[in-house]
Amino acid sequence: MARFKLYLEYDGTRYSGWQVQKQSRTIQGTLLDVAEKIFKDEKADIQGSGRTDSGVHAICQVAHMDVKTMIAPEIIRMKFNDKLPHDINILEVEKTHPRFHARHDAKSRSYIYQISRRRTAFGKPYVWWIKDKLNFKAMENASKLFLGMKDFRSFSDEDKLEKSTKVLIESIRMKEEGDLILIRIQGSHFLWKMVRRIVGTLVEIGRGNLTEKDIQHFLKSNSPEPAKYTAPPSGLFLEQVIYEGETFKEMMSPVTGFPLKF
């Protein structure tokens, strides 16, 4: 049995998230279906670094695959890409040590959220178009309240697989790039819908409907209110997963094609 590390990108629009679900098309399920065609009688197991929600995209998701095979990593990549649909692409395959785990070994993850301040004919599946004028500076100032180890119960739905609702947010960076507002959130891990609710709350700050005191209240007590502000999945991208010995790398925006430099 060999273990491989997979790097992949995908457009999540047509999928019900990463994790296999009965009677729903998912990223993991699609990969397993293709693996069955490639490896035939040798059953493959594929586990991702995290479960992206329905409709959420990935610039670089990481997964590990266990399968008994003598096929070289580059040939595995080519065989997958020959059979995968157009909206999932394997970027790289490398052989890794048997104890590597895509999820448990991850030290840090980053997400990018893209807000568009104008109606777009081409980027709609990849942005959240907001008609209202947003106070960017107020949003940027309020974002600092999320930094550090905080309890994000108010920003997530209940998930039986999560032992704790405390998450370390290492950095939140925001920038204006043309008609886009880009938000990068980097942390130890993320709870279900957490990033989308942080973004949605910041947007309400930008609209003038919430204050920094509201965010402080959400972080101190379990409030159902942030659920009302959940940002749509279209603008959210899993950007990067970082492991021991790795450093953060600037990625390319899937909308503008320019480096995501903050």
Active site residues: 53
Q: How many of the other CB atoms lie within 10 Å of CB of 86?
A: 7
In terms of Cα–Cα distance, which of 15, 13, 11 is closest to 89? 11
The HSE-up count of residue 147 (CA atoms within 13 Å, CB side) is: 11
Gap between the Cα atoms of 184 and 194, Å rounded: 13
In which region does residue 81 sit, left (phi positive, over 0), alpha (psi from -120 to 50) or beta (all else)?
alpha
For 15-32, letters b (16+ CB in 10 Å) and e give bbbbbeeeeeebbbbbbb
In the chain, which ranges are continuous DSSP H helix? 27-39, 73-83, 136-143, 194-207, 212-220
Identify residue 135 by its one-letter amino acid code.
Answer: N
**Which tokens belong to 175?**
């920038």
